[in-house]
Structure formats: structure tokens, C-alpha cells
């Protein structure tokens, strides 16, 4: 298993609630994986933070500066994860949808435009709360 960080938008969150999965394939995400034969010198925690931060940056692009960033943390089978060429050191593609039961948590901006440290943690059982926050108009 590998932990992946999937940037989401309000429409994808609604699909997750309705269909119980993040898709369609391929699913763009970020993970703390290294290219074969190229050690980064970073420890596992640093690589995880880099992947999470990159997913938050992608979520900001999805929000288009108008909404909150949302990232799902999920555990997926290693076999469905492949490096995404040209997508940065943490970019991966998933060759399978991410089912809700594989999502561990959600992270969402306390206020739009904050930095990565301002992302709040929500349990997967709080999907409806995350959807409500993501849909809330920004001031």
C-alpha cells in the first residue's frame, strides 16, 4: 500500500458522495515515491510533506483562486501507482479509481488563500461537512 494525496474540487467531492469513488481513471495524485535509482536524501516524513504540499498546490489550481483547497489522503495498492512524467517529483497517476473505503482523511482550507499549514484535518466520516465547506462562497 502507498499513501496518496488527491487534489479535489467541489464537483469531485459530490461525485465521491454519490458514487463512492474518485475517478475516472487515470486519477492524478501525489505520493512520496522516488524514481528508481535516484535517492533524494529526504526522509520519509519530508517526502510525505512534499507530496501533501504538491497536492495542496494542485487543489489551489482546481479552486481557481475562488474556493478552498481540498485534498484527500488515501491508501491504494502500489500496483496502481505510476509516476507521472513532467508532473513534478511527487506526481503520480492511479490506474484505478479510489474507493471511499480507501480514503483516510480530508484536508481543507480553514480560509481560502491560506498556506499549507492552514489546512484542517477531517475524518472520512465527515465528507458531508467537507462538501459543505468547499461549496461555501468565499468572502
Other beta carbons within 10 angstroms of residue 32's beta carbon come to: 23
For all residues of the chain together, what is the average pLDDT? 88
Reported as a single tens digit per residue, the pLDDT across 109-129 is 888 777 777 899 999 999 999
Domain count within the chain: 1
Range of the domain at 17: 2-135
Is residue 31 a contact partner of residue 4, using CB atoms and an 8 Å limit?
yes
Reported as a single tens digit per residue, the pLDDT across 51-98 is 999 999 999 888 876 788 999 999 999 999 998 776 568 999 999 999
The CATH number of the domain holding residue 108 is 3.20.170
Cβ neighbors of 47 (< 8 A, separation 6 or more) are 32, 33, 34, 40, 90
State the alpha helices, DSSP H only, in the chain: 10-19, 44-63, 127-135
Q: What is the pTM of this model?
A: 0.89
Cβ neighbors of 10 (< 8 A, separation 6 or more) are 67, 70, 131, 134, 135
C-alpha cell at 49: 510533506
pLDDT at 35: 53
* C-alpha span between 124 and 76 (Å, rounded): 15
* C-alpha span between 29 and 27 (Å, rounded): 6
CA 18 to chain CA mean position, Å = 19
Amino acid at each position: 500500500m502507498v499513501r496518496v494525496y488527491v487534489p479535489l474540487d467541489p464537483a469531485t467531492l459530490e461525485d465521491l458522495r454519490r458514487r463512492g469513488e474518485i475517478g475516472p481513471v487515470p486519477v492524478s495524485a501525489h505520493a512520496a515515491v522516488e524514481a528508481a535509482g535516484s535517492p533524494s536524501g529526504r526522509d520519509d516524513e519530508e517526502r510525505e510533506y512534499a507530496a501533501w504540499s504538491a497536492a495542496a498546490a494542485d487543489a489551489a489550481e482546481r479552486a481557481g483562486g475562488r474556493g478552498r483547497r481540498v485534498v484527500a489522503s488515501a491508501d491504494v495498492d502500489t500496483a496502481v501507482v505510476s509516476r507521472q512524467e513532467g508532473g513534478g517529483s511527487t506526481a503520480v497517476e492511479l490506474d484505478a479509481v479510489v474507493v471511499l473505503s480507501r480514503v483516510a482523511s480530508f484536508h481543507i482550507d480553514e480560509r481560502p488563500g491560506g498556506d499549507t499549514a492552514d489546512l484542517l484535518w477531517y475524518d472520512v466520516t465527515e465528507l458531508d461537512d467537507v462538501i459543505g465547506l468547499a461549496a461555501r462562497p468565499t468572502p
